[in-house]
Amino acid sequence: MEILNFIIPFTILLTVVVFVHEYGHYYFARKYGVGVTDFSIGFGKEIFGIKDKNGTRWKFCLIPLGGYVKFFGDRNVFSQAEQNELLKRYNESDRKKLFVTKPLYQRSLIVFGGPLANFILAIFIFAFIYMFSGKDFTPAKISEVQENSPAFSSGLKVNDVITSINNNKIRSVLEVSTHINTSTTNTIEVGVLRNQQTLTFLVTPKEILGEDNLGNSIKRKIIGIKISPLNNEFNKQKLGPATAIYYAVDETWFVTKSTLKFVGSMLKGKGDSSQLGGPIRIAKITGQVAQFGLIAFLSIMAYISISLGLINLFPIPLLDGGHLMFYAFEKMLGKPLSQKTQEGFFRIGLILLFSLMFFTTFNDLKDLGLF
């Protein structure tokens, strides 16, 4: 029964996020007249589905880890000769529905539509939360500075109000820990308000092995302070639509930027690769978060949606970003890359994706104590 507490929320979350991603592709495909034969949530054998009046088969498949949109006459066409051969198979009406006959900008938008939809979903979710649950704007006051801690050594004092971390404005007491732990630099620049003066301090955090709010083992950065609400009062406000969207976009951009910095730090050999997780860890965290209610569940859905959209934009063949990379080459060269070159890229992409899957699965199993 306990495993169902993880599987059910994870399946719901993944279904929504994948559906939105694939619908982004579908929307632009239909907008530009590309025929869509299949809209699938999951892979493998079809469990059930229906066909609409446009000839699209909407279906759920046995393996729910992903999905796809299949275009009319879908196949890889590497050369003009192959494209001409494909066109001979269809009459004039059907040719207009082929993806390969569309202008480069339309093909690019169709491919980009999936990640774009994921970012829009995240913005919508954050805005919904800020409008109906509220956003915290409680100033972060330092109530304690531990002796001989990084904060103590840097000059931070009790009653300082933290206003920024690494040039990111701190609007809430809840944001302090987030900005410290998402920092990828050795030192953190902390801006504070002290006696009506704005001061800046450089702090070198310590890294410790601890637990997150869900009880999962995690490496955390600490600087040796305790934070309290200014005047011991929490300030949570429900926002209007325009303001909520503004802060939702800001939050989506912050998560995107932090993720890119984290990936960059790993490529440089400085990031903590043990924090990378795959479906097992995501399912575990989703189940844990879902127990805290709808708002918490929607929040994790927004973060996963951003991650899915961002990962798909990486310039790796087999991902959306890989196709966009090919289109960029096509734009610069005036023609598509050769079949041999594209197949070489696809092999590299396949190796990278399988390596990433193996590594994240290993981390997941290690997190469960199986290694």
User: DSSP 3-state assignment of 98?
Assistant: coil
Residue with tokens 């639509």: 241
**Which burial class, exposed, middle or buried, applies to 330 when counting CB atoms under 10 A from its CB (0-12, 13-18, 19+)?**
middle
The reply to whether 343 belongs to the active site is no
d(CA 145, CA 148): 9
DSSP secondary structure letter of residue 196: T
Are 144 and 226 a contacting pair, CB within 8 Å? yes
Helix (H, G, I), strand (E, B) or coil at 188: strand
Q: Please, where are the H alpha helices in the chain?
A: 2-31, 80-88, 92-95, 104-132, 150-154, 175-181, 241-267, 279-290, 294-312, 320-333, 339-367
In contact, 235 and 113? CB cutoff 8 Å: no
Separation in Å, CA 142 to CA 38, 162, 173, 204: 56, 7, 10, 17
Assign 341 to helix, strand or coil.
helix
Gyration radius from the chain CA atoms: 24
The catalytic residue among 2, 22, 147, 251 is 22
DSSP character at residue 199: E
Measured from the Cβ of residue 118, the count of other Cβ atoms closer than 10 Å reads 27
Q: How does strand 161-165 pair with strand 140-145?
A: antiparallel
DSSP annotation string for 52-98: -TTS-EEEEEEEEEEEEEEETT-----SHHHHHHHHHTS-HHHHTT-
Active site residues: 22
